[in-house]
């Protein structure tokens, strides 16, 4: 079926012409006939708005589509949809609001914006009878948003465990597989273009937090307060702990987690040890994967490239098509999981969840130290699962004591750690990481 025979047609302006905007324009223009044949929607790129068209010209995008005149594009009544790929928060927030006011649907890959202002923008779209596609905001090309809002719609979602930052996962993979230190692995990621020159959004966990905030809002129907999500990145990770974890049968991953219990939903991002039996432990290099547990479906996992122009353009283009078919508008109009529509579930404050934990305490090799630490843990009713005192050179003053616990309240661990850190016979910092085993399924 040639493009002109497609049943539906949608005219699209792409604002921003960087990695994602450029790749989206390229995919939609180059593969217009393919997309029309498969989807029944003829996607016509009507304008590419930017300030700098260096990348557009490298890609060979048509010159006559390139424009700096955003106002004309927003005033063009023949344009049905605006794709926002600018990045940042203030400008795209205002851009999306203006596009909605001008009667245009919106597709965006902007996770930072949606994590902070998704509720406001979704509500505005609905008031206008319009919709916002945001598949590309979480997990690049992996159809994750659709999994929650469509494929798993009949489930109560119980938990989400995600590896949603490819840069961090690449660095961790290098540290695990090649024994590199964090600075060595980061330098390699930067040299291959996987990490930016300022990698802080990725390695400090902020990017992962944006994504889990968006997925949690959809999955649990909660208003997520981004500011209270505890976020720890991989930038403080010591290769010593990576190695000890491996000895214990675990793999370290930067996990973005949201899980629900009777009290509410806990959301956090931090390096965690995951059992080698869990499929997330297999995810290596720049790939992303997200485990979603539903009350009927049990454990599902979605894997793919979480970043990069082409994979992300796959998600943006599927959203454009979906708006063209009326699917995303129908979902926006009817479904009830948008954060601005729910208020019956609470996001729990930090330290309210239960987990197994790994602790590395640097302690003096003296009689009584172990007894003191043991009594602090006992007072908090923390039960020890394993304990290792690893041999060290004699001249070292403090030696590492590695403890894993059975499941206990995070608050109890935090209290115990503060007390242990204050002891005269221990180092200033106790390393604490959650240990994640297979989440219990209700089915199967």
Residue 303 binds to a copy of itself (criterion: CB under 8 A): yes
Residue 310 binds to a copy of itself (criterion: CB under 8 A): yes
| Beta carbons within 8 Å of 239's beta carbon, 6+ residues apart | 175, 179, 180, 181, 182
Report the nearest approach of a copy of itself to the CB of residue 19 (Å): 12
The count of other CB atoms within 10 Å of the CB of residue 351 is 15
Query: In terms of CB distance, is 77 or 193 closer to a copy of itself?
Result: 193
Near a copy of itself by CB under 8 A: residue from 326, 392, 397, 418: 326
| Beta carbons within 8 Å of 116's beta carbon, 6+ residues apart | 89, 226
Site for a copy of itself in 363-422 (CB under 8 A): none
Report the nearest approach of a copy of itself to the CB of residue 9 (Å): 11
What is the H or E stretch that residue 81 is in? strand 81-84
Report the nearest approach of a copy of itself to the CB of residue 44 (Å): 14
Near a copy of itself by CB under 8 A: residue from 142, 159, 172, 382: 142
* Residue count, binding to a copy of itself (CB under 8 A): 73
Query: In terms of CB distance, is 143 or 374 closer to a copy of itself?
Result: 143
Site for a copy of itself in 3-32 (CB under 8 A): 6-8, 23, 27-28, 31
| Cα gap 442→444, rounded to integer Å | 7
Report the nearest approach of a copy of itself to the CB of residue 331 (Å): 7
Could you give the C-alpha distances from 400 to 240, 394, 408, 418, in angstroms and in order? 9, 13, 22, 17
Report the nearest approach of a copy of itself to the CB of residue 229 (Å): 23
Near a copy of itself by CB under 8 A: residue from 206, 314, 347, 405: 314
Residue matched to tokens 């930072």? 112
Main-chain phi, psi angles of 399, to 5 degrees: -120, 150
Site for a copy of itself in 33-62 (CB under 8 A): 34-41
Residue 105 binds to a copy of itself (criterion: CB under 8 A): no
Region of 60-68, 70-78, 84-92, 318-326 interacting with a copy of itself (CB under 8 A): 318-326
Exactly one of 54, 211, 253, 379 is catalytic; name it. 211
Near a copy of itself by CB under 8 A: residue from 97, 300, 354, 372: 300
Query: In terms of CB distance, is 38 or 406 closer to a copy of itself?
Result: 38
223 tagged catalytic: no
Is residue 401 within 8 A of residue 361, CB to CB? The reply is yes
Report the nearest approach of a copy of itself to the CB of residue 393 (Å): 36
* Concatenated DSSP letters of 314-366: HHHHHHHHHHHTTHHHHHHHH-S-SGGG--SS-BPPTT--EEEEEEEEEEE--
Region of 44-52, 235-243, 326-334, 362-370 interacting with a copy of itself (CB under 8 A): 326-334
Query: Any bridge partners for residue 436, and if so which?
Result: 274
Query: In terms of CB distance, is 289 or 359 closer to a copy of itself?
Result: 289
| Cα gap 280→90, rounded to integer Å | 35
Report the nearest approach of a copy of itself to the CB of residue 279 (Å): 6
Query: In terms of CB distance, is 8 or 352 closer to a copy of itself?
Result: 8
Main-chain phi, psi angles of 147, to 5 degrees: -60, -45
Site for a copy of itself in 213-232 (CB under 8 A): 221
Could you give the C-alpha distances from 167 to 86, 92, 202, 292, in angstroms and in order? 20, 24, 6, 22
Query: In terms of CB distance, is 277 or 391 closer to a copy of itself?
Result: 277
Query: In terms of CB distance, is 179 or 285 closer to a copy of itself?
Result: 285
Is residue 223 within 8 A of residue 217, CB to CB? The reply is yes
Is residue 274 within 8 A of residue 246, CB to CB? The reply is no
| Cα gap 243→161, rounded to integer Å | 23
The set of catalytic residues is: 211
């Amino acid at each position: 079926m040639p493009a002109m025979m497609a049943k539906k047609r949608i005219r699209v302006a792409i604002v921003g012409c960087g990695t994602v905007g450029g790749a989206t324009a390229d995919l939609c223009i180059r593969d217009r006939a393919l997309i029309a044949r498969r989807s029944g929607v003829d996607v016509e790129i009507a304008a590419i708005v930017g300030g700098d068209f260096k990348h557009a010209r490298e890609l060979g995008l048509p010159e006559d589509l390139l424009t700096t005149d955003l106002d004309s594009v927003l005033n063009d009544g023949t344009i049905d949809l605006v794709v926002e790929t600018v990045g940042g928060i203030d400008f795209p927030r205002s851009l999306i609001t203006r596009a909605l006011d001008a009667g245009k649907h919106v597709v965006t890959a902007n996770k930072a914006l949606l994590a902070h202002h998704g509720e406001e923008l979704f509500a505005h779209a609905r008031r206008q009878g319009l919709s916002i596609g945001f598949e590309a905001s979480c997990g690049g090309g992996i159809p994750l948003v659709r999994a929650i809002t469509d494929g798993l719609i009949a489930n109560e979602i119980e938990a989400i465990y995600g590896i949603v930052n490819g840069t961090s996962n690449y660095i961790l993979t290098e540290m695990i597989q090649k024994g590199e230190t964090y600075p060595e692995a980061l330098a390699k990621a930067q040299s291959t273009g996987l990490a930016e020159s300022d990698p802080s959004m990725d390695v400090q966990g902020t990017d992962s937090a944006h994504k889990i905030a968006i997925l949690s809002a959809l999955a649990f129907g909660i208003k997520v307060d981004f500011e209270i999500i505890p976020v720890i990145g991989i930038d403080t990770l010591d290769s010593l702990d990576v190695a000890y974890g491996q000895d214990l049968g675990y793999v370290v991953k930067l996990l973005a987690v949201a899980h629900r219990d009777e009290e509410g939903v806990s959301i956090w991002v931090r390096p965690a040890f995951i059992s080698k039996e869990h499929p997330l432990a297999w995810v290596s290099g720049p790939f992303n994967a997200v485990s979603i547990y539903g009350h009927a479906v049990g454990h599902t996992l979605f894997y793919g490239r979480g970043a990069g122009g082409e994979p992300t353009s796959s998600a943006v283009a599927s959203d454009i098509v979906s708006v063209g078919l009326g699917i995303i508008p129908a979902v926006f109009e009817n479904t009830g999981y948008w954060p601005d529509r729910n208020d019956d579930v609470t996001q729990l404050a930090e330290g309210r969840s239960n987990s197994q934990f790994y602790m590395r305490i640097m302690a003096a090799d003296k009689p009584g130290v172990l007894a003191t630490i043991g009594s602090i843990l006992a007072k908090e009713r923390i039960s020890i699962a394993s304990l290792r005192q690893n041999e060290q050179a004699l001249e070292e003053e403090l030696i590492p004591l590695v403890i894993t616990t059975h499941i206990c309240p995070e608050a109890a661990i935090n209290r115990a750690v503060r007390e242990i850190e204050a002891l005269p016979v221990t180092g200033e910092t106790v390393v604490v990481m959650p240990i994640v085993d297979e989440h219990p399924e209700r089915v199967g």
